[in-house]
Structure 1
Amino acid sequence: MWYIIHGNHFEYYRMKGLFIHSMMSSSKKAGTYFYCALTAFIVMLICTRSSPLYAFNNWDDSNSYFTVGKSIFNGLVPYRDLFDQKGMMLYAMYGIASLLSYKTFAGVFVIETIAAAAVGLAIYRIYSLYVRPEISIVLMPITCACIYSTRSFWWGGSAEEMMMPLFMWGLYLSMRYFKEEYPREISYKTLLIGGILAGCVLNIKFNSLGFFFAWMVMILIADLTAKNLLISQRLKMCVIHGCIFLLGMLIATAPWIIYFALNGALYDWFHVYIYLNVFVYSEKLPMLQRIYNMCKIIYNHMLSNPYCGFMALIGGISFIVMKSRCIEKLNMIMLAGFTALIIFIGGVELQYYSLPLWTFAVLGGVAIGRIVEYLIDNSIYKKRACKESTDDENTTPVSIRWHVIRITAGICAVVIAGIISYTTSMNSFFMKYQRDDIWVYHFTDIIENSGIENPTLINMGCFDAGLYTTCGIVPTCRFFQTQTIKISDVGEVQDDFIVNGKTDFVLARDYTPDYIDVHYELIAHESWEQSGYDCDFYLYQLAR
């Protein structure tokens, strides 16, 4: 066709070559996406209790998010009608998961797998900045397994886990700019994407925004150090870039502003999500004590997660000492430092808080990849292969041989990732439990066989223990679970529900609620070991 139009063979073969190259490039991209998705599926299948290999994800935090998420699609408004302290985007993801499976975590598993695939692709892109693709494709699954099998991952479904794609892609964009584009001006597209990523973090768990604060500070430093520009031009560029970044954050936040405005709940959103988290939830300590506690917490988390801790620390040191631009090194110090600072300055030591720090485990992978690349480039086999490849007769066999080696290495890497996940994940032991072994399903059978249509429930003395999920119950009390945050409203509202018999069932953990005997009778009691603690769960039913 091109030959007929242009009347020459050269144009025909040129376009044919471009078409073939485009097809090969698309096929390679599709293969990479599939490889990342396969890695994510295998790692998540083992590491998260939301997986089909587990009877139930009995983490109270994940169940709480699931309850609030599904309630959105039942007409309730978070913060106003249901009290919880995470961001609206997290609840929306869990709400979508509930549409896929209303009484199980199958939908959550799908979302976790998609998020992990996005993380894997970003890790591959980061490695490809420093080492050849065939090494990147081997390192990526192993890095994913190391990150998701840490104690920081906990039981699966945390806010930190859902933010990992945002951190990893933010890290990729920042490293790519300072390695390949600086001192040229950063593109508006990259800035806008960075702002959108930051906006998503803002609306999932805002105390993790330290990463993107440093991300944008480094862009402003790059603008201020731009060559051949007047100071006024540099300042103007800073303002423009800052506005584009904020526009991205606004794009990610606008849907929630509209949602709460339409539901008359803007004040509830700000009061619960921002004010209470900042001024009530964190510890009140002198700054020096906060810094000391923060360093101690980070040290303890590194000991609890030795693989990622080692990769992040040693990788960070090697990144700083290796041959690279000073601004690249400063960029990494700023990103890691502010990520840790904002997360832990409040003094909270929960294990899953440190998961964002293991984003920087890729630095260890970069160091390993560069060593492997050096060994390959200087190996006798490589030199022999290069020599053989110059011979026309041997070009095809060598090419095929290397292609087979790459595929084999990739498959082996996924297998190794699965082995790492199974042997190091804190969750793999829980596979032995069946549905009939878990107390929550015993209580579920009791509630479902009670004959009460559309039963109501309240949790006392604990977070959402899972009955809202397994029974498909939507809460009728704003404080549907006992909170760790110290506000008097929780006890007062819950006591009112008990005193006046406003709920069909009461689930209590480790204590007997006041006035429970007035309207309720104990119908079930079971003991359960959870997170190293022995718990007693009591189920009460409203006396008819």
Structure 2
Amino acid sequence: MKQQTCKRLLGFLLLSFILITTCSMASPLFPLHTGVDQNCFLTVGKAMLSGKVPYRDLYEQKGPLLYGLHALAALVDSNGFFGVYLLEILNLTWTLWLFSRMASLFLPDRLEMPAAALSGLVTVTAYCFSRGDNAEEFCLPLVLYGLYAMLRCTEAGSLPAGRVHMLCGIFAGMILWIKFTMLGFYIVWVLFFFVETIRQRKYLQAIGQCLLFLGGMLLTALPWLVYFAYHHALYDFFYVYFYSNIFLYSRSASWILRIGGVLVQDVFHNFCMTALCLGGVLYFMLAKTSCKQKTTRIAITATYVGLYFFVFVGGVRYRYYLLIMAGYCVFGVIALLRLWSHMSGERCKRMLKLALPVLYGLAIYPASNCRYYFGKPDSYYPQIQFAELIQQNKRQEEVSLLNYCFLDGGFYLESGARLPDTRFFCRLNIPSSQLPQMYAEQDRIVQQGEVEFVVVRYRLREHLWRKEPCAALTERYTLLGTASEPHDAYQYELYQLNPET
């Protein structure tokens, strides 16, 4: 490996350390991660290490590879998010490296690292980064590699080698087993090169490339098919991961709601990232001097539209969904650096060396999604307050707890409770009409007093919907404590099973 490459990788590693430490709640700067999805991932990952099987034993709807990554993280730290923190640093290092490789196609060498550094800053400070550890975050470099390989070929006027098709198939397969709605990019990727190869009258090569790509995807599928078949859980796997995500979550949304979602969540909450993404795509699509080949402009535009369409076609929109689009912000950064370079001339390099550290120093703290939680004492967090109450009042050595009627809030992790015995260890965002057994199972556990402690959550703003717990909660359990989390506007209650029951 060249010395220059090593220096850049070390620089990106240091930069990733700074960004993840300040912008992800998996960082040691915070006693816990308040994200509900993130706690679900870690709970399932820990359960895998204890022999439980996702989907069959624990109903959670993300892909098995994501749980496998969190199982790996739990090997490093089973009582917190430090293992996830290390994974995020490595993942962002790879992302920054790919940002620099893409920038190298359109910028001089001296601007590659600034382009990557600025793109990375925009990515982790965007609202959709959502305090870190999202499925989209781990899929981002998998998309970026395919985009880099694509543009390298289009700019050179060539077609990808067979090994590139195979490798991109592997990365597409990894996306499939993390969160399949982000496969839109690689669907367009394959179609693009298939059409290009056919256009050059290389018919057999076009078919062969598709087979290589599919072969790469198949390689990623085999371990999971074997794993779930061995545990007699193939039906659970396909039902929960594919059927429930496609048919239980998706909803029909009017065009007014869809446009409103774009304006509020994409434009308003993620203005800087969205402006760079759309501005960069438009720059490459319209400016004749943006790239060497017309096919490059088509590739950037087509993959952007395809990825966005497949992510949001179901009508469901959560704040972290947009993060997968962050890879396209590098095109906006490239456009700005080109403008900067033309305006600054030879002074550009010296000015950037000074401007980047200043920008990072001034922007990271105020722009971080985690800004509100900096410096908060442990006693601020309801999870830690309840963990202390549980340890003071528990009647058995092993704590049994139910996260009742809401997503995993981190109470299993902080309380040291045993891993959930119930398949529905939390309530996912699926309506009761679509999955009534989830609601019935949680109610049954409370009615029969199968756990010693129960945690429930309400919204502080009363006009918003909330699910009322079953009557047995106040009949068989005693309220032990309450706590609020003002930033996310939640009120929590901790109940303990009555001694006579």
Fold in common (TM above 0.5): yes
Could you tell me which residue of structure 2 aligns to residue 147 of structure 1?
Answer: 123
Contact 2:41 2:67 in 1 (8 A): yes
What is the distance in 2 between the residues matched to 1:304 and 1:442?
A: 31
| Alpha-carbon displacement from aligned partner over 1:312-371 (angstroms, at most 9, x marks no partner) | 111111111233322111111111001110111111221111111121101111212323
Residues 1:538 and 2:482 are matched in the alignment: no
Aligned length: 482
Q: Give the secondary structure class of the aligned counterpart of 1:540.
A: strand
Q: How does 1:49-448 map to 2 (within 5 A)?
A: 49-180=25-156, 182=157, 184-226=158-200, 229=201, 234-284=202-252, 289=254, 293-300=257-264, 301-322=266-287, 323=289, 324=291, 325-375=293-343, 378-379=345-346, 409=352, 413-414=356-357, 416-448=359-391
In the alignment, does 2:440 pair up with 1:492?
yes
| 1:456 maps to 2:400 | yes
How much has 1:95 moved relative to structure 2? 1.1
- Label 1:489 to 1:351 Cα distance change in 2 as closer, same or farther (>3 A): same
SS at match of 1:508: strand
- Structure 2, gaps ≥5 residues long: 459-467
Where in structure 1 do 4 or more consecutive aligned residues deviate above 3 Å? 292-296, 372-376, 408-412
Residues 146 and 420, structure 1, Cα contact 8 Å, conserved in 2: no
* Structure-1 separation of matches of 2:124 and 2:301: 23
**1:270-311, Cα deviation, whole Å (9 max, x unpaired):** 0000011101110035xxx46x65444333312211111111
Report sequence identity in percent.
25
Q: Which residue of 2 aligns with 1:479?
A: 424
Q: Distance in 2 between matches of 1:521 and 1:72?
A: 33
Match of 1:521, SS? strand
Question: 3-state DSSP class of the match of 1:284?
Answer: coil
> Which amino acid counterpart does residue 375 of structure 2 have in structure 1?
K
Query: How many Å separate the matches in 2 of 1:530 and 1:260?
Result: 40
5 Å-filtered alignment, 1:25-64, equals 26-64=2-40
| Alignment-mate amino acid for residue 444 of structure 2 | D
Whether the aligned pair in 1 keeps the contact of 2:382 and 2:492 (CA below 8 Å) is no
Structure 1 pair 297–237 and aligned structure 2 pair: CA distance change class (3 A)? farther
Q: Give the equivalent residue in structure 2 for 1:389.
A: none
Is residue 142–residue 414 contact of structure 1 (8 Å, CA) maintained in 2?
no
Give the aligned partner of residue 481 of structure 2: 524
Residue deviations 1:19-46, cap 9 Å, x none?
xxxxxx6211111110111111101111
Residue by residue over 1:474-494, the C-alpha shift from the partner in whole angstroms, topping out at 9 and shown as x without a partner, is 111100101211210111111
Q: Does the aligned pair in 1 maintain the 2:482–2:491 contact within 8 Å? A: no
Report the Cα distance in structure 2 between the residues aligned to 1:198 and 1:542, rounded to whole angstroms. 51
The aligned residue for residue 390 of structure 1 is none
Contact preservation (8 Å) 2:125, 2:368: yes
The DSSP-based 3-state class of the residue aligned with 1:537 is: strand
Q: Name the CA distance, whole Å, in 2 between partners of 1:53 and 1:190.
A: 40
Indicate how the Cα distance of structure 1 residues 71 and 140 shifts in structure 2: closer, same or farther if over 3 A, else same.
same
In structure 1, the gaps of 5 or more residues are 1-24, 383-401
For the residues of structure 2 that align with 1:297 and 1:137, how far apart are their CA atoms? 34
Please tell me the residue identity of whatever aligns with 1:145. Answer: L
Contact 2:251 2:315 in 1 (8 A): yes
TM-score where L is the length of structure 2:
0.91
Deviations 1:451-487 (A, max 9, x none): 5222221111211111111133311110010121121
Equivalent position SS for 2:296: helix
Q: CA deviation at 1:133?
A: 1.9
Instruction: Say if 1:37 and 1:114, in contact at 8 Å, map to a contact too.
Output: yes
The whole-number CA distance in structure 2 between the counterparts of 1:360 and 1:93 is: 25
Query: Match of 2:281, as an amino acid?
Result: G
Are 2:153 and 2:159, in contact at CA under 8 Å, matched by a contact in 1?
A: no
SS of the counterpart of 1:250? helix
C-alpha distance in 1 between matches for 2:222 and 2:411: 33
Q: What is the deviation of 1:252?
A: 1.8
* Change beyond 3 A, Cα 1:295–1:175: farther
Cα deviations across residues 69-104 of structure 1 (Å, max 9, x unaligned)? Answer: 110001110000000110001111111111111111
Q: Which structure has the larger Rg over C-alpha atoms?
A: 1
TM-score by length of 1: 0.84
Distance 2:2 2:495 in 1: 57
Shift of 1:542: 5.1
Q: Which amino acid aligns with 1:185?
A: L
Measure the CA separation in 2 of the matches of 1:295 and 1:542: 50
